[in-house]
A and B are shown apart, each in its own frame.
Chain A
Amino acid sequence: MKGTIFDLKRYAVHDGPGIRLNVFFKGCPLHCLWCHNPEGVAFEPELMLLPNRCARCGDCLRACSYGALSQNGDGLVRADRSRCTLCGDCVEACQREAIDIVGREVSVEEVVAEAEKERVFFEQSGGGVTLTGGEPLAQPAFAEALMDALREKGFHLALDTSGHASPEIFLRLAGKADLVLFDLKLMNEEKHKKYTGVSNRQILENLRALDLTGKPVWVRFPLIPGINDDGANLQAMADFLAGLKSVQQVNVLPYHRGGVEKFRRLGREGEFAVYEPPAEDRVQAIIDFFRTRGFRVKRGG
């Protein structure tokens, strides 16, 4: 069984307990304008240019058989992605890793082998593997096979999800995790549609249904100033969460611009937005808002 991922990150310390291996699934049914992992949105592999590494040598141009690459006036490489077939010849030709195809097929066995390398750290720290992305549930068969294989090896499993999936898939896969990291972005359905491209109705229903199973949940709230930090959204979120019994903590994740450079590299500037990171006192006020309502709140993952 194979799936498409865009990264395996070791020493991940912000996505679940202990020291973890993050498996970044490629592809997401949502399209959040603030996405900080834009390379996780498209399901197919993508060409990525890293101009800061480019030697302007032109090796990649010469390697390309489709005329998809060109150099601008100062020698930097540009891509015409409509011509690119993702053959990888340019990646092979570049000696500085300035051009890359983000996203690759991996087998369950490859990921398990990578997790095995980290076993000593997992065991020492109470860590494990986190399936994240992108959206792991958007590759349900691969996600399930991977979870089964990892579970068999005794690894602690966390599933980081938007919750956007059919209830059957959602509950089956969430049921296989030891912990669900559930991203909750916006309570208003219209706004949710506007900023993420999908309705939140199924998402909220899924969370409610999951709650009934008693599975431990950490709710992750990406704090985007001007989008979801208004009193109405916060209040609605607090009210909703107050009705759940399995939410162990709320993680407030302040917006940062880590994704901006990445969507430039992908040539997808037009599809995302850039926001002001929240002021420190605003972050604290929101943390306090949830805290005073009885939630265990943590800043960051």
Chain B
Amino acid sequence: MNDRIKKLREQSLNTRPSISSERARIVTEAYRSPEVQRASIPVQRALVFKALMEKKAIFIDEGELIVGERGPAHKATPTYPEVCCHSLEDLETLNSRPKTSYAVDEETLRLYHDEIIPFWRGRSMREKIFAEMTPEWKAAYEAGIFTEFMEQRAPGHTVLGDKIYSKGLLDILKDIEDSLARLDFFNDPEALNKQEELKAMAISAEALITYARRHAELARKMAAEEKNSQRRKELEKIAEVCEWVPARAPRDFWEALQYYWFVHVGVTTEFNTWDSFNPGRLDQHLYPFYKKGLEEGTLDREKAAELLQALWVKFNNQPAPPKVGVTAEESGTYTDFALINVGGLRPDGRDGANELSFLILDVIEEMRLLQPSSMVQVSARNPDSLLLRALKIVRTGFGQPSIFNTDAIVQELVRQGKTVEDARKGGSSGCVEAGAFGAEAYILTGYFNIPKVFEITLNNGIDPRTGKKIGLETGDPGNFQTFEELWQAFEKQMRYFIDIKIRGNNVIEKLYADYLPAPFLSLFIDDCVLKGRDYHNGGARYNTRYIQGVGLGSITDILASVRYNVYDRKTVTMDELLRALSQNFQGYERLRDRFLNRTPKYGNDDDYADELTRQVFEMYFRLIDGRPTVCGGTYRVNLLPTTVHVYFGRVTGATPDGRLAGEPLSEGISPVQGMDRKGPTAVIKSAGKIDHVRTGGTLLNQKFTPQLLADEEGLVKLKDLIRAYFKLMGHHIQFNVVTADTLRDAQKHPEKYRDLIVRVAGYSDYFVDCARELQDEIIRRTEHQGF
């Protein structure tokens, strides 16, 4: 890392995230203008985007090579009042909460008080959504049965493919013209809608070109005033780059990166999209530019690394848009989930690992930043050297990169109906979500608390935390003679709540399609331009919606305990069990010990428990997979938690696996924290018993002590462990390599551990930034140690 990058990196690390009111102000002004008010809704959105691109403050900081920021300063984070209009109390909370806070200044509070809140109150998407939800939905939402991803943030959840590397926006504008020319106003009742959408896309494309040219002008102006000849040359080059891209296809490595970055800023300015935005298969996309640069002598390894590092700093300068309420609970982190994919396959099925894959891994290791997040795709066709290189970074203990099974991802996507080429161009984004990059809208709609539904079942439809009846009356469990009867009641409750969730989802999907289209994002995801349809309205080639199942380990252990202790061995009656749960095991400590220590548990390669894992998975799959969405998509399942297992645990009472009320649930498909006692191979065997290929992603967390990976041999054995998991078609695995003692010390002395990065769940975070209960949970996850 040279001095320039060191400085930029330090600056990024030392800047506290703040709220910028700039976007809210420009958006509100734009919505007030008569021109916008007259326009169709897609064109309104495009004109608002245009106003942002023309008016938002721009700057080029000292030493920067890649330019453009979402806010007016590094880490100045915009708000999106048309999606979620924060109250003054929200802003106070953001400013003062102990974790993931954002500085809010007086000017922002004043502007919100005088302009933003009066204009948006009652009109934001968040309010529209809550107004449209049924009482059943609200009751389930408040009980913590599920969360709702779109109540504060726009759908997003997509990744860029290879389009921008061969097409400038001027080329895409030609495609838009072609689509407009093809509109059939005689036979197609949608023709007018398509025309408005295409017009909106064109305005948005031009707006980004304007934004880039503003940077070109600024760079030229700065160059004229620059005394240092070296920097002057750089500024002149920046001007040249910004003049060329994104209008035209990039000619070299630098232009390719800058083009991507402009698109990233555009997408994340248009909306507060989930998972921000993501260049995806960076090593595949950039390799031709890298190779050409080396051949022509215009680029060398150092320069390429420097430019990548400059891009890395840019990512790190963009904290997640502010989240409050349940959304902050389910995703309590600054990380915004851009996940760089390295390795994997080429579209024709050949090994995709190249020189640049290794260079990017060097950059990841050296930069050691939270953002962008990174992962390595490993296919049977990729060499071990790629995986071993990645594990050397894992060993340094900052949780990156995570490791994915390309062969599973490709099968998952093909099963969902993608062509094999589109599947191979894809990968994983966010935490672990599989997608066909550049051609798919794969939108996560919310987490689903499976153990909570079982709790409702045990209470005949009543949520014991509140005493409210929110589920079906499926019978007093004391009357169930067999485990199968209990299971049937559980499945009924599951179906009931999943139906509530999907009904709500369908309304929300339509609200976004009708009121908040995304014409700018639509430019880049095939086939929105071709079809003249918005990304939010089924415009993508593939449209998928997920409901993310949470607590697979917990529900397995809960069901195993009930089956084992109540029905099989009859060591406790259902009534006694229910009394123990209602007392949070007070006075039932021996019983709780039996549940914790003497009852089969998931994660130990024990078929008694693991068969129930499989059955729960099959039920969840059966109730969701294949159902249609309103805009032409299909529902699928995946299994990941971000940080929601902590919140879901907080709203769930004591459970028959011995878990106390309020404790976190298991995360992803990992075993309940501390309950895997037979080592990592047993965990992997248990996790391999569900059919990952029928999901769109699963998350398995493992913790290793540094000693186990200290030498080359330990690393090779870890590599083999991963390869074996992938033979079982596991989707993903990630590692924390840090001792529990270190983590405990970090809790006591956070000031000494500001740089301690740990894997949370599909992403890494600063340990000291995690909520206390999440910290405790990370410590409790079994630490595998060889001896």
Confirm or deny: B590 has a beta carbon within 8 angstroms of a beta carbon on chain A. yes
Residue interface bits A1-45, CB-to-B below 8 A is 1, else 0: 000000001111110001100000000000000000000000000
A121 lies within 8 A of chain B by Cβ? yes
- Are the CB atoms of A95 and B787 closer together than 8 Å? no
A121 touches B598 (CB 8 A): no
Q: Given A118-B681, A120-B724, do A125 and B717 touch, yes or no (CB 8 Å)?
A: yes
> In the bound complex, how far is the Cα of B753 from the Cα of A258, in angstroms?
30
Confirm or deny: B163 has a beta carbon within 8 angstroms of a beta carbon on chain A.
Answer: no
Q: How far is the CA of A97 from the CA of B595 in the complex (A)?
A: 12
Further contacts, 15 of them, CB under 8 A, given A95-B591, A95-B598, A125-B721: A9-B679, A18-B720, A19-B720, A19-B721, A95-B590, A96-B596, A96-B597, A97-B597, A120-B685, A120-B724, A120-B727, A124-B721, A124-B723, A125-B724, A127-B720
Question: In the complex, how many angstroms separate the beta carbon of B571 from the nearest chain A beta carbon?
Answer: 10
Check B590–A121 contact: CB distance below 8 A: no
CB-defined contacts of B716 to chain A, threshold 8 Å: 125
Instruction: Report chain B residues within 8 Å CB of A118.
Output: 681
Given A9, A19, A57, A124, which contacts B727 in the complex, CB threshold below 8 Å? A124
**A239 CB-CB contact with B under 8 Å:** no
B589 touches A117 (CB 8 A): no
A189 located at the interface, meaning its Cβ lies under 8 Å from any Cβ of chain B in the complex: no
Report the separation of the CA atoms of residues A120 and B722 in the bound assembly, to the nearest whole angstrom: 11
Complex Cα spacing A10 to B685, Å: 12
Return B94 CB to nearest CB of chain A, in Å.
44
Chain B 571-607 per-residue mask, 1 if CB under 8 angstroms from chain A, else 0 = 0000000000000000001110110111000000100
The listed residue (A13, A59, A121) touching B724 by CB distance below 8 A is: A121
Report how far A120 CA is from B729 CA in the complex, Å.
12
Residues 40-77 of B, flagged 1 when their CB comes within 8 A of A and 0 if not, give 00000000000000000000000000000000000000
A53 to chain B minimum Cβ distance, whole angstroms, is 8
Closest B residue to A57 using CB positions: B590
State A199–B592 Cα separation when bound (angstroms).
Answer: 51
Known contacts A19-B720, A95-B594, A125-B724; is-contact A13 B714 (Cβ 8 Å): yes
CB-contact partner of A121 in B593, B594, B678, B681, under 8 A: B681
Would you call B717 and A13 a contact (CB within 8 A)? yes
- What separation, in Å, do the CA atoms of A178 and B605 have in the docked complex? 28
CB distance from B576 to the nearest CB of A (A): 15
Chain B residues positioned under 8 Å from A9 (CB to CB) = 679
User: Which A residues fall within an 8 A CB radius of B?
Assistant: 9-14, 18-19, 55, 57, 59, 95-97, 117-118, 120-121, 123-125, 127, 258
Q: What is the minimal beta-carbon distance from A91 to any residue of chain B, in angstroms?
A: 10
Given A18-B720, A117-B605, A124-B720, check contact A10 B679 (CB 8 Å): yes
Q: Are B720 and A121 in contact (CB under 8 A)?
A: yes
B786 within 8 A of A: yes
Expressed in whole angstroms, the minimum distance between the Cβ of A123 and any Cβ of chain B is 8
Is B680 an interface residue, CB under 8 A from the partner?
yes
16 CB < 8 A contacts A-B:
A10-B678, A11-B680, A11-B681, A13-B708, A13-B713, A55-B589, A55-B593, A95-B597, A96-B593, A96-B596, A120-B728, A121-B721, A121-B724, A124-B721, A124-B723, A125-B720
Return the chain B residue nearest A8 by Cβ.
Answer: B678
**Shortest Cβ distance from A122 into B: residue:** B724
Once the chains are docked, how many angstroms separate the CA of A117 from the CA of B724? 12
| Chain A residue, CB-CB nearest to B599 | A95
Q: Nearest 9 CB-CB pairs, A to B?
A: A95-B593, A125-B720, A11-B679, A124-B724, A95-B594, A11-B681, A124-B720, A120-B724, A96-B593
CA distance A177 to B239 in the complex (A): 71
Chain B residues with CB under 8 A of A95: 590-591, 593-594, 597-598
Residue in B closest to A12 when the chains form the complex, CB atoms = B786
Question: Measured between alpha carbons, how far is A125 from B724 in the docked complex, in Å?
Answer: 8
Given the contacts A13-B717, A120-B724, A121-B720, A59 and B784 also touching, CB distance less than 8 Å: no
Q: Given the complex of chains A and B, what is the CA–CA distance between A9 and B728 in angstroms?
A: 21
User: Would B685 and A117 count as touching, CB distance under 8 A?
Assistant: yes
CA distance A13 to B785 in the complex (A): 10
Of B682, B716, B787, chain A has the most CB atoms within 10 Å of the CB of: B787
**Chain A: CB-nearest residue to B604:** A10
Report chain B residues within 8 Å CB of A96. Answer: 593, 596-597
**Interface flags, B727-751, vs A, CB<8A=1, else 0:** 1100000000000000000000000
Question: Contacts A10-B682, A96-B597 known; A258 to B590 CB distance under 8 Å?
Answer: no
Which residue of the partner chain, among A19, A57, A117, A258, contacts B787 with CB atoms under 8 Å?
A258
Interface size class of B (residues with CB under 8 A): 20 to 34
Most buried by A among B605, B713, B714, B784: B713
User: What residues of A have a CB within 8 angstroms of the CB of B784 in the complex?
Assistant: 11
Of B596, B714, B724, the most chain A CB neighbours within 10 A belong to B724
Q: Which residues of B lie under 8 Å from residue A14 when comparing CB positions?
A: 786-787
Contact check, A11 vs B786: say whether CB atoms are below 8 A apart. Answer: yes
Taken together as a complex, chains A and B put the C-alpha atoms of A205 and B685 apart, in Å, by 43
For residue B182, give the distance in angstroms from its CB to the closest CB of chain A. Answer: 53
| Residue numbers in A under 8 Å from B728 (CB-CB) | 120
Cα separation A127 to B719 with both chains bound (whole Å):
13
Q: Which of B626-685 contact A (CB under 8 A)?
A: 678-682, 684-685
Query: Chain A contacts of B786 at CB under 8 A?
Result: 11-14
User: Using Cβ atoms and an 8 Å threshold, which residues of chain A touch B594?
Assistant: 95
- By beta carbon, the residue of chain A nearest B708 is A13
CB distance from A104 to the nearest CB of B (A): 16
What's the Cα separation between A110 and B375 when bound, in Å? 40
Which residue of B589, B597, B681, B724 contacts A10 across the interface (Cβ within 8 Å)? Answer: B681
Q: Which residues of B contact A59 (CB under 8 A)?
A: 590
Which residues on the A side are within 8 Å of B684 (C-beta)? 121
* CA of A121 to CA of B723, assembled, Å: 9
Chain A residues with Cβ below 8 Å from B727 are 120, 124
Closest Cβ neighbor of A126 among chain B residues: B720
Q: Which residues of B contact A97 (CB under 8 A)?
A: 597-598
A13 to chain B, nearest CB (A): 5
Shortest beta-carbon distance from B724 to chain A in Å: 4
Q: What's the nearest-Cβ distance from chain A to residue B606, in Å? A: 10
A8 to B764 Cα, complex, angstroms = 35
- Residue on A with the closest CB to B592? A95
B721 surroundings in chain A (CB, below 8 A): 11, 19, 121, 124-125
For residues 134 through 179 of chain B, which have their beta carbon under 8 Å from a beta carbon of chain A?
none
Give the chain B neighbours of A12 by CB distance below 8 A.
786
Q: Among the interface residues A12, A117, A125, which one has the most CB atoms of the partner chain B within 10 A?
A: A125
Q: How far is the CB of B595 from chain A (nearest CB, A)?
A: 9
Give CA–CA (A121, B787) in the complex, Å.
Answer: 18
A14 vs B708: C-alpha distance in the bound complex, in angstroms? 10
**Considering only CB atoms, which chain A residue lies closest to B682 in the complex?**
A10
- Which residue of A is nearest B718, CB measured? A13
Question: Which A residues are in CB contact (< 8 Å) with B597?
Answer: 95-97
Interface centre among B681, B713, B727 (most CB of A within 10 A): B681
**In the complex, what distance in Å separates the CA atom of A127 from the CA atom of B590?**
41
Q: Determine the distance from Cα of A97 to Cα of B713 in the docked complex, in whole angstroms.
A: 34
Query: What residues on B are CB-neighbors of A121 within 8 Å?
Result: 681, 684, 720-721, 724
Contacts of A55 in B (CB 8 A): 589, 593
Q: Give the distance in Å from the alpha carbon of A19 to the alpha carbon of B681 in the complex.
A: 9
Within 666-718 of B, Cβ neighbours of A (below 8 Å) are at: 678-682, 684-685, 708, 713-714, 716-717
Interchain nearest-CB distance for B419 vs A (Å): 31
For B605, the chain A residues whose CB sits under 8 A away are 117
Known contacts: A95-B598, A120-B728. The answer to whether A18 contacts B717 by CB under 8 A is yes
**Inside 8 A of B717's CB, which chain A residues have their CB?**
13, 18-19, 125
The CA of A124 and the CA of B727, in the complex, are separated in Å by 9
Residue of B nearest to A59 (CB): B590
Which B residues are CB-close (under 8 A) to A19? 681, 717, 720-721, 724
Name the CB-closest residue of B to A97. Answer: B597
Which of chain B's residues have a CB closer than 8 A to the CB of A10? 678-679, 681-682
Interchain CA distance A211-B338 in the complex, whole Å? 58
**Minimum C-beta distance from A95 to chain B (A):** 3
A120 vs chain B, min Cβ distance (A): 5
Query: A13, A97, A123: which has the most chain B beta carbons within 10 Å?
Result: A13
